[in-house]
Amino acid sequence: MAAESLTPPARKLLAALPLPHCGADLTALTEPLAGYSALAINTDILRLDRLDGVLSGNKLFKLAGHLAQFASGGRRCLLSFGGPFSNHLHALAAAGQRLGIPVVLIVRGYQQLPLTPTLADCVSWGAQLVFADRRTYARRYDPDWQQQLTAQYDALVIPEGGGGEAGLSGCRVIGELAQAYDQLWLAVGSGTTALGLASQVGGCEIVGVNAVADQGERRRHWQQRMPAAVRWRLLDDAHCGGFARRNDALMECIRRWDAAGLALDPVYTGKLMLAYEGALARGDLAGQRVLLIHSGGLQGRRGVAGLDLPGVKVSPAGADGHLHPASGPA
């Protein structure tokens, strides 16, 4: 998101977040994957998980455009949708706490105690939780219901996952980094990050690893929305049965990279690396300069037994409103 396109209130608001302003700012977060595996030659990894102790990964980029919209709009609070382990809700609540903006979270499902670690963090940061049953939650894309929520809470309504045109705008800066590579690999959920960065990748091919079994929905959407000049592929063989589903191969992959010092999450980045390993083994990447995007989401590991972070056991939010590593590297 170009700083010159922002209003003064939006510029001031976003300055309080650890948000890179250009592709060059991201080079410090890029490192050779060979540092973790000797097999991974000609591959770098963009460690968006290292942006900030809490506000990390691609979620912050997707929120940037929405926060700029809020700063220029005059609404009282931010409102969005997600599940009980949602990285998006976690990032939104953290951003609201840091910026002093009230946040309302529409959470899929019924309230259960104790709350998930994700939702416990959100509450500790001052977010209001509103639980929605399956039928109600299914209306999250309904413009009429969104209008009702806007009026009820005096809120800027952010689509699930931080999508929409405002979500795309903050992701463009990531694409600038891809211009030095032949292929850019990333995990795909809503597809917002990939579509957002696509306008800046130049001749680099986008390789999306679909984390969702969506019967071709994402592919059809990209066929309509991807810039015509952009080369892209969508891989549908590493979702392990569907969104947030996992199998033995995925868990073994995560543990391999854990042992090497690279923590992955089981929803997105684990599936990205599973697909990357397959391509590497088949020789598909010979002669290719590859950039992988680590999109964060490590807080979600707390919902999976046996996946405490190696060297970093993420604890609930401390008194200062931030997650703290128990020991070891961030």
CATH, range 59-162: 3.40.50.1100
Across the range 9-31, mean pLDDT stands at 85
CATH, range 3-57+172-303: 3.40.50.1100
Across the range 37-44, mean pLDDT stands at 91
**pLDDT per position as a tens digit, 200-249:** 999 999 999 999 999 989 999 999 999 999 999 999 999 999 998 999 99
Of residues 46 and 112, the one with the higher pLDDT is: 46
- What is the residue-wise DSSP string for 212-224? S--TTHHHHHHHH
Residue 187 near residue 271 (C-beta atoms within 8 A): yes
**CB under 8 Å to 228, separation ≥6 — which residues?**
none
Residue 2 has pLDDT above 60, yes or no: no
Q: How far apart are CA 182 and CA 134, in angstroms?
A: 42
What residue segments make up the domains of the chain, in order of their start? 3-57+172-303, 59-162
Q: Which of 158, 152, 114, 108 is nearest to 134 (CA)?
A: 108
Residue 158 has pLDDT above 50, yes or no: yes
Question: pLDDT-derived band of residue 98, with 50, 70 and 90 as boundaries?
Answer: very high
Neighbour order of strands in the sheet with 155-157: 128-132, 103-108, 77-82, 155-157
Of residues 197 and 54, the one with the higher pLDDT is: 197
Q: What is the pTM of this model?
A: 0.90
Residue 293 near residue 177 (C-beta atoms within 8 A): no
Question: pLDDT-derived band of residue 316, with 50, 70 and 90 as boundaries?
Answer: very low
Query: What does the pLDDT read at residue 318?
Result: 34
Q: Which of 40-49, 59-68, 212-221, 313-322 is the least confident region?
A: 313-322
**pLDDT per position as a tens digit, 104-147:** 999 999 998 899 999 999 999 999 999 999 999 999 999 999 99
Classify residue 212 as exposed, middle or buried by CB count within 10 Å of its CB (0-12, 13-18, 19+). buried
**pLDDT per position as a tens digit, 55-97:** 889 999 999 999 999 998 889 999 999 999 999 999 999 999 9
Q: Comparing 3-57+172-303 with 59-162, is the CATH topology the same?
A: yes
Query: What does the pLDDT read at residue 306?
Result: 81
CB atoms within 10 A of CB 281: 10
Question: pLDDT-derived band of residue 326, with 50, 70 and 90 as boundaries?
Answer: very low
Residue 1 has pLDDT above 70, yes or no: no
Residue 70 to residues 19, 73, 102, 198, Cα–Cα distance (Å)? 17, 5, 12, 25
Query: What does the pLDDT read at residue 39?
Result: 86
Query: What does the pLDDT read at residue 315?
Result: 38
Of residues 48 and 55, the one with the higher pLDDT is: 48
